Amino acid sequence: MTSPALAAPTPTGARERPAAPGDLAIRTTGLTKRFGSQTAVDSVDLAVPHGSVYGFLGPNGSGKTTTIRMLLGLVTPSAGSSVLLGHPMPDQAGSALPAVGSLVEGPAFHPYLSGRANLARLDAADLWADPRTARTRIDAALDRVGLLAAATKRYRAYSLGMRQRLAIAAALLAPRDLLILDEPTNGLDPQGTREVRHLIGTLAEDGATVFVSSHLLSEVEQICTHLGVMSEGRLVAQGTTSVIRGSSAAVARVVTVEPDAAVRVLTALGLADVEAVALAGGLDGAFEVRADPGTRPPEEIVAALVGGGVGVRSFTVSIPSLEDLFVSLTGEGFDVGR
């Protein structure tokens, strides 16, 4: 479903800072939705800074789309409140929504009309759109998503990826202060996914806040300044991308055939969470000894191992991937790429 409105994005990366309450494009307090005895969204407190690219993440069924529908006034919350661009929803929807462009649950267009004609109908239904500039704005939106050459082609002949691009174009028919995109790369091939990633970046550079729901971690990690993670209806993590990534401790790994000695040395050095794990395939009885290095530099750890008589076959220090972090938060896997 597409929703006409108005917006203008902001610089990606330039806004990695805590947000004051008055600096939020989206703010929710205790936002909850129940369907009978089932709680789909449970007391969610979103804080989306103006000018951010906010990645809203979670497995299927975690409550992302229901939350988005409540933000846009398409679903009435069972409890809690939400504010878009400083306007309480849904009471001041008439003031907020003209500045919001959205793509929710996929595109819905007339199959017998062309892409351009479909956008013209949507634009004509927008009370805030200037009919005198309709053709110019429609062609600009089509061009921005790479569909200008297919503007006269009937929608029913569009591929799934082309339909998704047309839906994004519908959200760009007028300038927007806030864009809410639910799985905008759904159905796109790798090239189309890259193009949408670039588009989101340019929208942010133009000054808009972009709120994007996705399960493609590789895409989110490249474009988002802030993240929110949903699991079973709850917001289990929220903050700048750098802070959330930094919440995972680094792991030091040493491969050796003397695991007991390595464990003693690392423990004496003050490293935490030291454990030895047998390597698959045997590798001449080699083990991987893991530990949290804390603030100890790698060269100091290796020197202590060698000084303690431990034969070191390899040594690495790594930070858990974004996927590892989200699996630990949600207990479920994510699609990390296409």
Provide the residue count of the chain. Answer: 338
Task: Look at 125-134, 275-284, 308-317 and tell me which has the smallest mean pLDDT.
Answer: 275-284
Q: Is the C-alpha dihedral spanning 184, 189, 192, 196 positive or negative?
A: positive
Single-letter residue type at 214: S
**pLDDT, average across residues 141-148:** 91
Residue 131 carries which DSSP code? Answer: G
**pLDDT, average across residues 19-48:** 89
CB contact set of 105 (below 8 Å; sequence gap of 6+): 1, 65, 182
Single-letter residue type at 224: C
CB neighbourhood size of 40 (10 A): 19
Pair 272, 233 in one domain: no
Compute the distance between CA of residue 281 and CA of residue 278 in angstroms, rounded to an integer: 9
Task: Look at 164-173, 225-234, 245-254 and tell me which has the smallest mean pLDDT.
Answer: 245-254
Contact indicator for 5, 97 with CB cutoff of 8 Å: yes
The reply to whether 1 falls in a domain is no
The reply to whether 208 falls in a domain is yes
Number of domains in the chain: 2
Residue indicated by tokens 């947000």: 19
**pLDDT, average across residues 31-44:** 96
Contact indicator for 165, 147 with CB cutoff of 8 Å: yes
Q: In the prediction, which pLDDT does 109 show?
A: 93
CATH of the domain at 227: 3.40.50.300
**pLDDT, average across residues 189-217:** 84
Pair 152, 208 in one domain: yes
Helix (H) or strand (E) holding 289: strand 287-292
CB contact set of 1 (below 8 Å; sequence gap of 6+): 74, 103, 104, 105, 106, 107, 108
Pair 57, 170 in one domain: yes
Residue indicated by tokens 């006034």: 73
The reply to whether 17 falls in a domain is no
Pair 285, 161 in one domain: no
Pair 275, 216 in one domain: no
Q: Is the C-alpha dihedral spanning 58, 63, 69, 70 positive or negative?
A: negative
Compute the distance between CA of residue 332 and CA of residue 116 in angstroms, rounded to an integer: 41
Pair 144, 232 in one domain: yes
The reply to whether 12 falls in a domain is no
Pair 112, 157 in one domain: yes
Pair 237, 253 in one domain: no
Name the domain boundary from 196, 215, 246.
Answer: 246
Contact indicator for 101, 9 with CB cutoff of 8 Å: no
pTM for this model (two decimals): 0.74
The reply to whether 337 falls in a domain is no
The reply to whether 88 falls in a domain is yes
Pair 43, 106 in one domain: yes
Express each pLDDT in 242-279 by its tens digit: 777 766 668 899 999 999 999 999 999 999 889 998 88
Residue indicated by tokens 């239904």: 125
> Average per-residue pLDDT in the chain?
84
Pair 186, 285 in one domain: no
Range of the domain at 273: 249-318
CB contact set of 97 (below 8 Å; sequence gap of 6+): 3, 5, 72, 73, 84
CATH of the domain at 307: 3.30.70
Q: Give the β-pairing of 38-44 and 24-35.
A: antiparallel
Q: In the prediction, which pLDDT does 16 show?
A: 39
**pLDDT, average across residues 141-168:** 91
Pair 258, 236 in one domain: no
Pair 47, 158 in one domain: yes
Single-letter residue type at 325: L
Per-position DSSP letters for 88-103, written without gaps between them? EETTTHHHHGGGEEEE
Crossing angle for the helix pair 190-206 and 160-171, to the nearest 10 degrees: 10
**pLDDT, average across residues 161-186:** 89
Of 236, 235, 211, the closest CA to residue 224 belongs to: 211
Name the domain boundary from 193, 225, 246.
Answer: 246
